[in-house]
Structures are given as C-alpha cells and as structure tokens.
Structure 1
Amino acid sequence: MTRWSAWRPVREPGESPYHDWWSRMERGSGHPQPTGRMHDVVPLRSLLPGARGKPVEPRLRMSNALTAPTPPGTWNAGFKAHLEAQGDWLPPLERLPVVPEGTVMVGVIDADIPLGHTRLCDASGNTRIAAAWQMGLPDGPDYLPFGHELYAADIDRYLSEYRSGPENRLDQSAFDRRTGMVNMKDRYARRALASRYSHGAHVLDVAAGCRPEGDQDPIAQTRVLAVNLPPRIAFGASGEFLDYYMVHALRRIVDLSDAIWLRNHPEPGDGPYGYPLVVNLSFGRQAGIKDRRGIFARAVSQLLELRRADYAPIDVVTPAGNDNLERMHAVASLAPGPEGAGEASELELRIQPGDQSSGYVEILFEADVEGLDPRYAPLEIDVVPPGGTPQPRRTRVNARSLWGEVAEIHCGMDPADRQDGKQLFRILVCVAPTSRPGDTGPCAPSGAWKIHLRNLGPHRLEIDLNIQTDQAILPGSTAGRRAYFDSPYYHRYNEAGRLLDTAATEPVPVNTPPGAPPGTPVVLRHGTINATASSKEVACLGGYRLNDGREAPYSSTGAGVPLPNDGRSAPTAALPTDDGAAIYGRLAAGSADGSVVAMRGTSFAAPQAVRFIALARLRGETDTSGSELLAEQARRDEAQADFPTGRMTVKSGAGRMRSPFPEPVKRL
C-alpha cells in the first residue's frame, strides 16, 4: 500500500493526508462529529476450506492506508470482543437463506438500494435479496463493525407486515422507514427512496431485476447480496474515505456468499467451492493511483489470489466514469536541466465560488531512485491563490506547506520498485471550501489558482494531475461545485457550439499541446477513467448511444497507451447508456415499486455487464473471466453492428455490446 511520507509529522502517525486535512478543515462545518478513526477490521482468515490438500492463505491487512472517521452512532462497540472471541464477522449460519442449487450470486454496492421491489421477488412474493448490509444504520449486531444487516427472512417478514388489501400491495413508505432506507429526521441521512428516482434502485433493477410472475427470465435464478453505502457525510464530498467502505463492502459480499454456500453445503462435494459471484460497484473517484497499486485494486487482487482453481469465479464490474468533459485530468512532461533546474510548467486550477467542500488535486509521477537526494522529491511546487504572487523560493516537495490556513501540500512516496528502481511520488494539494454558510471556518478564495511545477531531477518527469471528485454532502444539494483545469489549448466546443468528444480533439494522447512551449501542461480527455476501474483485474464499461452507436461524450476515455503495473488503457467494452441524442438515458426501476425512470451514465452500463456475466455463469460458463466474456461478446456484436458512426477503442474497448437488459416498458 501507499504509505504517505513521514518527512513531516501529521497529528497521528500513519494518518492519511485526506484524514489529516479533513479532521482540521471539515469536521467543524456543522457536520456530525466523528467519535474516532476506523481501521481495517476484516478478519484475516478465509471462510472456505483449503483447496483440496492446500492450506488457506491468510488475508493481508491494509494497515493505515485504509482508514476513515468513525460516524457517530454507527460503530458497534461489541465488535472487537466478538472478533477476538469468534475470529470472524459472520452471523449464525441458520440466519442465512437456503437457496436453489446452481444459484449465482449478484453483489450490488450502491446507495439507496430498495429492499421491497417486486422485481426483486420470486413468484411467491418472497425476496431474492439474500442479505443487505445497511452501513449507515445504528444498533447493529456485535459481529458487524458498523451498521446493521437484514437477511432474506427479515425482509420477507417486513414485506408480509406491510402488505395489505386484495392485491397484497406494499406500503412502501412504511416499509422503507422500517428497514431504515428512508430517514427524514436526520439532516444527512439517506432519503432518495422518498423521491422519484434513486441510483441504487436503477442499478439493482438492471443487474438482477425481472418480473416475478410468469416470466421465464433466467436472471430470476440469481440471489442478491446488497450493501447500502452510508450517507455521503461518512465518506466525504470528494470520496476521501470511499475506499474504506468499498473495500469492506466487497469483502462482506464475498464472505456472505461463501457463508451461504457453507450453509447450503455442510459437507462439500467434488465441485468448486462457493457460488459464482458477480459484483457491481457503480461508484468511484477521479483521482488516485490508476493501476494495481491503488487501495481498491489491491483489495480485489487479494481476493482473486485467494480464489484458486477449485473455487467458483468472482468478477468485479465498474463503470468507466462520466468525467470525460469535466477538465479534471492533465499531464505535464518536464525535461531535466543543468544543475537540477529543469523545465517548468504552470497550470490554472479554477476553484468555483459557493463550493462548500474542500478541493483536492492529486499529482503523481515516477522517478528513478538512482541519483536522487533521499530527502526530497525531484520536483519543485508552488500553488498561488488568485491575485497572489509566487513565492521567491518555491517549495521542494518534502514537507507540509500552508498558505493562510486555506491550502496545503502533502507528499508521500511508495518504496522503490525492486525491478525498475522507480519511486512513485504522490502529492496532494488541499484547498479549503470557498463558502461556509453559517460557519466560521477559513474560506479559500475562488478563481484561478496557479500550480507551478519544475523538474529538479536528472531525468525527465511525466506528471499526472487529477482533480478529485466533488459532490454535495446534503441530499439534493448543489453545494459541492467541482474545480477544473483551465487551459487555452483545451477546446470544449466546435463551431456549431456542440461539445467536442475525444475523437474530434484528441485522436491520440499527447503530453504537450500542439504549438505550445515545451513543458506546457495539456488538459486531456484521455486518461479520465475512474480510478476504481483502472486495474485490469476489474471489468470496466463505457457508454454509447443506442440509436446511432455514437460513444457517449461524458463516458471517460482510457489512457490510450500501454500502462505498467496492470494499468487500464481502455474500457473492457461499452453498453448503451442513452437511447438517442434527444432521448435521455435508459429506462429501469425508479424509487417506487413498479415505477420506471430514465437515468444516464456509465453507472448503468456496469450493471448491464453484471447481468450478462451472471447469465453466462447460470449457463455453466465458469472457466472464463467475466472480462474475457464481455470482450468476446463485444467483438461479436461489433462485427454484426451496422452503426453509421465509427468508434475509438479508448472509449469502447473491444466493442459496443447489445444490452442484455429487457427494458420493463418501451418509450412512446
């Protein structure tokens, strides 16, 4: 894992810079105060037996790289004692459901996932949701570190309690309140299921929904393991602590799937251990390490390494992201110079007014260890606020730097790679909110901040800059306004005023804008893929328009060049995310049972891929990874397609797939 540099102390040893900045800058902004800091708490042992004569390999802990503030009221005080006594975090096996032989498990990690929709019930009216971890709820059992959990029997009991009348209709509002999915009392709680649409409802329907009566859809043979992420206040407007919850959610789904298998197979036979499992994660962040060294990528790799040939397959599916046109990614190529003074560059960071959350820019580069002063990174940096002047002597990146308590630089580095001698350096620039209604904390000025960089090393530096995702904390609020990179060499529109996609402006990735002086940073669409999806060990899906095949302009673009460390240079494939240019999104379940809404984004390409893989697993196709199955089908569909538009591999990977999801209704 990345260890943030000990070159300068933080308040707690090993603390991440996100946590350090948040604890000083955000916790006083009227937010509920955390009661401590959560660490990696998942048990180290695997649940399933060793693979026929081979010992079970222990899991690895993520150490201090995986931490988050403890939200008040959700941490279960008895968990530590339970873990020490029992050694696992499982419920009693008798609480888990009996499932049909040949079941495929579908995991969904999302927000505002409904538990009572008819399309997630079988023909008898019983739920197909085997378990649902509600991460943000209080008063959970001691075997959970935080949150609460419902199982199929619990959900069926509540469904029976809140159904009435001759048609056995569900009082969904009462059901959602009873299961903790709607909370109108807590300012920061989840309540999207009380509105017209919710992200989790749409994703779950696309991944595993079907009509319960008289429908021969084979997806009805799947069972769902759901994890409802906590309110955004828990993991931050920029997803500062999202990795913590995503990693624990993924591990929980894997362990519950294995526990249900053990419940149904007390004496394992000769077949593979465990159920085939396909997990959808339609969340992510823009900034971060975009290869196997990232925190989430490490967690996925670890789980896959533990699943030997005698185990049923696990697939993790993620969206490419919707940041293609957001001007959140830039690169700079800086040559060395005589006596350590190499090329310099300057990039404008536009921080918007009215932004009530902190902004972050992650700057990453690798450098050869040979010839480096071990006390310093080979880079000089300065961040200048609007109207400010550069420091006469800029900061060598080896310490925290502060400007009037509204901005700060952190630097960390990975241990040098033993094979190529490269050191990964990570710089995090933190900027305070520009608005704090009703609060007295410091505010950063909005406008054009300038980031100055200079190469001080003996080798060329290839530098990546990414602005972290920024969204509002409060449900329905627009108070989280994204910063963006501003460059005169970036073209947003064509002569007709239409937004330019990657193909029109960046047929190939470049590291210096055409006609610009050497070292000038270039703001790119290439390389905007979601950091969570950037490892080749997960499937990554882009989006395209169904009527003409044009790739969705918002769908993020791969790097377009081969990347080391299993980094992803393109999505696996693409699936339809809009019906047409004037026909927004795709139809699937809304918040209310039986409702249908249109939602757009690559978040809804990913569950189509989950559905495709789950159907393949139900047919017995278990020897090929989900990514390979998707790529093979995409190539076949692309060869048979008759779209009038071309495509770019960096946006649609192996090709544009037909959707496996039968829309519940047709458009007028």
Structure 2
Amino acid sequence: MLDSDTATSGNAPGVLSQVADFRLTRFSHKNNADQWWSVLVEIEGSIDAFIANAIEQGQGTTAPNLKPIPVDQVTFVVPVAYDAADRAVDHRLQPVSIFARQSFLSLLNQQPLAGHSANQWNVQSLVLGGLVDPVVLDLDADWPDTTPHPPLSKGATVMAVIDDGIAIGHDLFRDGETSSRVRFAAFLESVPFRKDSKTTVGRTLNKEAVDALLEKCTRQGLLDEDTFYSRTGQIDFPKQIFSTVALRSSHGSHVMALAAGQMLDDAEDERPIICAALPSRLVEDTSGVDLLPSFYLGFQMLTKEARRFCEASGALAKVIFNLSYGNSGGPHDGTGLFARLFEHYFGAEAVVNGDPQRAWLMLPGGNANLAQLHGVLEPGVELAQFDLSVLPDDRTGNAVQIWMPFEGADPAKATVVVWSPDGKSHQVTTSGPDQSHCFVNEQDFEIARLSFSGPQGETKRGLVQLLINPTASHDRKEPLAPSGIWQIEVTREADAPHAIELWVRRDETIPGLKPGGKQAYFDNPGYERFGKYGEPLRVDPPGSDCPVKRAGTLSGFACGQSPVVVAAYVAKTEDLAPYSASGPCNQPSSPAGSDREGPDLAAKGDESDVVRGVLSAGSRSGTLVRRSGTSVAAPRMARAAAVAIHDFDGSGREWAQAPTASTPGMEKLNPGAPKTPQQSGSGAYSYPVEARWIYGK
C-alpha cells in the first residue's frame, strides 16, 4: 500500500445507479432541472401502471391514450413506439426507453424499498442515456401504422439494422432509380415532422416517403444525395443535426450494405430493409452506456415494424437483425443489463403479440483483445494491483467495473483501494453495506467516485465501480479529473475459490468522428504486448502472472444466450484477427445466465495484415470503402443467415454450430486450425458478399 492523504468522502449510496448519479453530478455547476435525457428503465408490471403511478405522485406525462398535460408540466414521456397493447401487458420485468426531465431522474434513481426489488416507481434498474434536445421530441405524436405490408415473395427475409449514419439513398439499397428497398427508416436524432408524426423522437419514413424524396432529388438520372439527406432530416447544420452520412464513410452504410446490399439489377431473393439510425453525437461516446436507451428504442420500433411483414401463407416473415456495436462493461455471464435486454426481444421469453416471429440477432464479438481493458484477481491470489492509465485531453468520462464472484448467500469479501494521481485515496469493502466515496477538487466539486453496490436483480454479484470525470473539456466550469496513473489495489482472503474480474469501460472515439474520447487502460509493467519477432501476442503468454488478461475480453453485449456472436479472421492467413475478443465468460450467477464460452463463429474482418478491413458501401452511391473489425464480420454472417433461416428449424446459435450444412455458398476455412471455442466458436467461415457489388463487374 502507498501512503496518501484521504480525499473528502460523501457517503450517499441510496441510488439505483451510481453511474447515473455520478454523470448528473458533472452538471451540478449548471441549472439543468428542465433538461431532457433519454433513460432506460427496467420496470415491474405494466407500462400503464408505471404511468398511472407517476401521475398519482404528481409527475406529468403525455400519451395518445391519456388526456394531454400542458407541456411545461410534462416531466417524462413514454414513446409511442410502445403502443396501447404494449403498455397494457403485465410483465414480471421489462425494459422501457423513456425521455425524462432531469428533475424527475433523481426520483426514478431512488434505491429499492426495504424488502422489495424495485423502488416506489416500480423501477428495478436504470441506465442514463444522453442529453436530448427538445427540438427532436414530439410529445403529441400519434400511434405508428400497424397495417400489414403486402405479402413477401418466397425466400424473402426482412433485414433489420440498428446503426449510425445509414445512407438509405445509396444505390445498393434501391431496386430502381427512384424506388427504395428501405420499407421503414427511423432517425432518432432529427427534427420531427410535426404534422401526423408517428414517433416521439426524431422522424420515421416509410417506403412511399423515401421514394417521393428520391424522385424529388433525382435530376438527369442522378440522385442529389446532399439534398436528399438534408430532406430526410439526417443533416441540418443550422439546427446542429449531424450524421456521418455527410462524410465519405459512415459506419451504418458500410454495415447495412454487407448485410443487405445488392445491385439494382441483382436477381437475389427479396430483401426488404428496415433500419434505425442512432444519434451521431451519442455514438462519439463508444462505451455503449449512453446509447443503451437508443438501442432499445430502436429494437422496439423495428420489432413492431417487422410484424407488419408476412409471407404468402400468412405466417409472419422471417427477420435477421444486426447490431454492430459492443462494449466492455457488464458481468460477462449473461445476467447483465445488456445481455438480458437482448433476451427480451430474441430469447425464449421474447415478447410477441399473437403468433411468434422467427428473428435472429447478429452481434460482433468485440475488438478489445489487445486493448488491455480486462484484469483478473485469480482464485487463490490474495492481492493484485492494477495501474489504470487515464490519458490527458480525454473529453469523455472513464469507468472501471470490478465484479465480485457469485458465492451464494455468502457475499464475496474483498477490499478495494484506489489512489488518484495526486495521492488521494479511498477504499470500499464488499462485505458491508453499499458505500460511496467521492474524490473532490480544490473547489469541492466531485471529480471521481468509488462505490460498492451489493448483489441486485438477476446478476447476484457485488459491484465496485470507479468513475472518473474527463481530463479535458470545452466547458471551463466543468470539474476535471487529473490524468496519469490511478492505482487500484484489490485484496481478499488467500483461499478464495473464485476470480474477481475487472473491466475498463471502452470510451475511445470511433474513427471519422471528431476527437473526444481517449481510451484508459491497464498499464501494468508485467504485461507482455509483443512476441520475439515484434508481432502482437494474441493470447496470454504461458506462465504469465500478469493480472491483465486477453482472455475474457468478449463484448459485454455479446454474453447472452440467444444472439449469434461473430469473431473476425484475416482472409490471407485464415487466422483470427489479433484484435478479435474471446471468452471465457464468467461463471453464471443465476438461472438467467448463459452457457456461452465465447463467439459462435468467425467471419472475415480483414483481407490481410497489410490490407485491413473489407470493402463495402461508402456514404455515396457508386463508392466503396474499407472498414475493419468484428463489426463488419457480423453483417457478413447476417447475409448468410438470411438464406439459412428459411430451411433451418433451430435457433440462430444452433445454426452457427454447423452453418455450412444449411447455407448454400458458405464454406468452412482452415478446419484444422487449433482455435478453441472460446476464441472462434465453431470455426471460421466464408460467404460470398463483395462479388455482388463490385461496380462494373
């Protein structure tokens, strides 16, 4: 241990989410009571009961089936994507994305009542999203259309994509000069149409609206794409609405083309597209925490829209979803908030009205294998120290999650001590009550927080969190944390039988967006980065006693039971990409856990070690760009799954165990490679994609 001064402590553990409380503290120097936020809440019971309870306690809301309340009295709103049927269903536990004023958030974030799993608002857990400009909200929106679409042709599969920067006018998403294959598009950050609005946030366009805009913006056979994206609402610089479709390359366009792109004259089976575009300003923070409410609002909108598609027999059409995002947080055992919410839409207990709809979800395994974001206090080890390097000029917050092992009724006993770069320290013990301690600056503003929360909900693990403010900001009044090494020391009894796992939250800015986040990482001196020939080591060296590990870096989104999780390989060498994350996952802590060991299979993420990435759509018609990572491997498997789902009777994960048997054109590569299921699942597979789009061929 190091000698240090003790920072000022503010014990205030009585909240559902320390992260939400800490993030709101960052704005304590401002008067933001009327600021709107996106919020994801897990509620017990029905949405109607939640709304009625809130109104009874003096909190106002609006909805099409309730008497409108004056706008200045509205404190939260449930999006119309949750229709009357959704709101009436009584679930034991369900996720709901809402928009709420900051004045209401402190009430929602109260800890559960004594002897109950939820608080007085029937909220069991809460994730704070991002700030929402009221200009993109329509509190008077009407219910979305539920009229069935015309029956699809035989072999048709609906392709559903949630991403950012989706260039819906690209010629790979059209079946004619002014005819789009996009049947539904939701833009979650756009100035809404106030007339006949069908969404609470942003705007939605159906095929008729997209085709009309294509016709208006096409001159002499060429689409004026800048005007088109301005008229869709994706780009409005005077109102500070920005999308990466304004750039040469956009993530969503690249991903959606891999999953569903085809030339105008391609004779491939029908692939109607539905999509939801995330707010670009939230995508700049890659942690996934800010985006989670938008993710699940997108899933809610697209699953409702998917049910409007049917086959000639009258059965609901088959749907492939792709979400090429990941994060490094969560318990990594299938019980975390991220994993469980995917089960809500795609698991055995998926919520459907009437007949079930076959829907598979593709997720990337993550790119964190070499990022030094994972640490482990191994069984039988009494003490480990982790040097967290927090970089200067980092405009996003940093966080470390320390998950205690599941040990039944007997809580895991450990002590966590943290020293800041300026020598101040705090500690928490995991065998006592919930705790919260603040690191403060000279002006007595909180700049970091160390907290402990006991086992809650399905996870049943204790959680220690270190939350750190940005080290730089354009706001001169924002309290900043010092950059440098934040030392974390974890101690416990030497004979403890289970590991304690640490994960650094991912926050590095995605290429192509304005710089903001710089990734914090564990910088322990014993970590071996390179082999004897200078190549990065893909697996931990045998016999290494360094507590920073490559194993166990699988994305926190990808640890659940139902999604198909895809790793990435390099085509030239037919070997896994060095960045591609792997298992094992944590030992499940409850029946809600997953049996997952790692990814389900691997797809191409790079052409070679020199030619990085794979070709797919740029932001303008006729363009192709390269992008790399497991986020481009996942949609390649989404394209293959769109064929397989018709003839395969099992789940998506069952198909991924032997996909070539039911998928024409799919081949298994290098079957003798000594890769474990924790690294590549059932193996590496190729499926023809680029051949469909090389212009001029």
TM range (shorter): 0.7 to 0.9
Please state if 1:328 is matched with 2:373. Answer: yes
Residue 523 of structure 1 is matched in structure 2 by 548
**How many angstroms apart in 1 are the aligned matches of 2:536 and 2:257?**
31
Contact kept? 2:667, 2:686, Cα under 8 Å: no
2: distance between equivalents of 1:351 and 1:134? 34
* 1:561 Cα deviation after fit: 7.9
Give the AA of the match of 2:415: E
**Any residues of structure 2 matched to 1:543-554 within 5 Å, and which?**
543-554=568-579
Q: Quick one: distance in 2 between partners of 1:436 and 1:106?
A: 40
1:212 corresponds to 2:264: yes
User: After superposition, where does 1:61-210 map in structure 2 within 5 Å?
Assistant: 61-62=94-95, 63=123, 64-73=125-134, 74-78=136-140, 90-93=143-146, 97-98=149-150, 100-102=152-154, 103-123=156-176, 125-139=178-192, 143-165=198-220, 168-185=221-238, 189-210=241-262
Return the offset for 1:17.
2.0
Q: What is the aligned partner in structure 2 of residue 17 from structure 1? A: 18
Q: Which stretch of the first structure deviates more once superposed, 539-548 or 123-132?
A: 123-132
Counterpart of 2:484 (choices 435, 444, 447) is 447
Q: Deviations over 1:327-361 (max 9, x none)?
A: 0011113659xxxxxx3321111111111111000
Give the SS at the match of 1:284: coil
The 1-side partners of 2:634 and 2:39 are apart by 30
- Please report the RMSD computed on the Cα atoms of aligned residues, expressed in angstroms: 3.5
Within-5 A mapping of 1:610-629: 610-617=638-645, 620-629=646-655
Task: Tell me how far apart the structure 1 counterparts of residues 685 and 159 of structure 2 sit (CA, whole Å).
Answer: 20
- The corresponding residue for 1:364 is 403
**CA shift in 2, pair 1:583/1:445, >3 Å:** same
Structure 2 CA distance for aligned equivalents of residues 320 and 415 of structure 1: 26
- Larger CA deviation: 150-159 vs 486-495: 486-495
- Equivalent position SS for 1:493: coil
- Is 1:487 matched with 2:524? yes
How many residues are treated as equivalent by the alignment?
A: 601
One-letter code aligned to 1:449: W
- State the 1:106 CA deviation: 0.9
Report which stretch shifted further, 38-47 or 538-547.
Answer: 38-47
Q: What do the CA deviations read for 1:436-495 (whole angstroms, capped 9, x no partner)? A: 245222222211110012226995452110011103499632231001001233210122
1:533-612 equivalent positions in 2, closer than 5 A: 533-559=558-584, 565-612=593-640
Deviations 1:269-319 (A, max 9, x none): 7x64x2211100001211113233222322222233246895231111100
The answer to whether structure 1 residue 254 and structure 2 residue 307 are counterparts is no
Deviations 1:565-615 (A, max 9, x none): 205321110011111111121111111111011111110111011111112
> In structure 1, what residue type is equivalent to 2:232?
T
Assess, with a 3 A threshold, how the Cα gap between structure 1 residues 390 and 306 changes in structure 2: closer, same or farther. closer
Q: How does 1:44-55 map to 2 (within 5 A)?
A: none
Question: In structure 2, what is the Cα distance between the partners aligned to 1:258 and 1:161?
Answer: 30
Change (3 A) 1:27 1:113: farther
Equivalent residue for 2:47? none
Equivalent in the alignment of 1:385: 420
Aligned pairs for 1:245-324 (under 5 A) are 245-261=294-310, 272=315, 274-303=316-345, 304=347, 305-306=349-350, 311-324=356-369
Native 8 Å contact 1:638 1:655 kept in 2: no
For 1:614, the aligned partner's letter is A
Report the equivalent of 1:650.
678
Inter-partner Cα distance in structure 1 for 2:92 and 2:344:
7
**AA of the residue aligned to 1:256:** E
Output the amino acid matched with 2:384: S
| 2:537 aligned to which of 494, 500, 510 | 500
2:49 match? none
SS of alignment partner, residue 256 of structure 1 = helix
Contact 2:326-2:555 at 8 Å conserved across structures: yes
AA partner of residue 179 (structure 2): N
Q: Is the 8 A contact 2:284 2:510 kept in 1?
A: no
Report what 1:230 is aligned to: 279
**Per-residue displacement from partner, 1:221-250 (whole Å, max 9, x unpaired)?**
011110001123488453322221112211
CA contact (8 A) 1:411 1:426 kept: yes
Aligned to 1:395: 428
Task: Verify the 8 A CA contact 1:30 1:439 in the aligned structure 2.
Answer: no
- CA spacing shift, 1:458–1:65, aligned 2, 3 Å: farther
Pairwise CA distance, 1:65: 2.3
**Identity over aligned residues, as a percent?**
23
1:340 corresponds in structure 2 to none
1:512-565: CA deviation from partner (whole Å, max 9, x where unpaired): x64x5xxxx611111111111111211100111112201100111121787562
1:665 is matched by which residue type in structure 2? I
Q: Equivalents in 1 of 2:635, 2:181: separation in Å?
A: 17
Secondary structure class of the residue paired with 1:122: strand
Mapped to 2, the partners of 1:409 and 1:526 lie a distance apart of 26
Letter in structure 2 aligned against 1:154: A
1:19 to partner: Cα distance = 1.6
Alignment CA distance shift 1:313-1:92 (3 Å): closer
Contact 1:366 / 1:425 at 8 angstroms: preserved in 2? Answer: yes
Q: Which residue of 2 aligns with 1:354?
A: 393
Whole-angstrom distance in 2 between the partners of 1:67 and 1:245: 11
CA shift in 2, pair 1:235/1:298, >3 Å: farther
How far 1:182 sits from its partner (Å)?
2.5
Q: Does the 8 Å contact 1:163/1:171 carry over to 2?
A: yes
Q: CA deviation at 1:109?
A: 0.4
Aligned-pair CA distance for 1:631: 2.3
State whether residues 285 and 468 of structure 1, in contact with CA within 8 Å, keep that contact through their aligned partners in structure 2: yes
Cα contact 2:414–2:491 (8 A) shared by 1 = yes
Cα separation, 2, equivalents of 1:562 and 1:667:
52
The structure that is strand-richer by fraction is 2
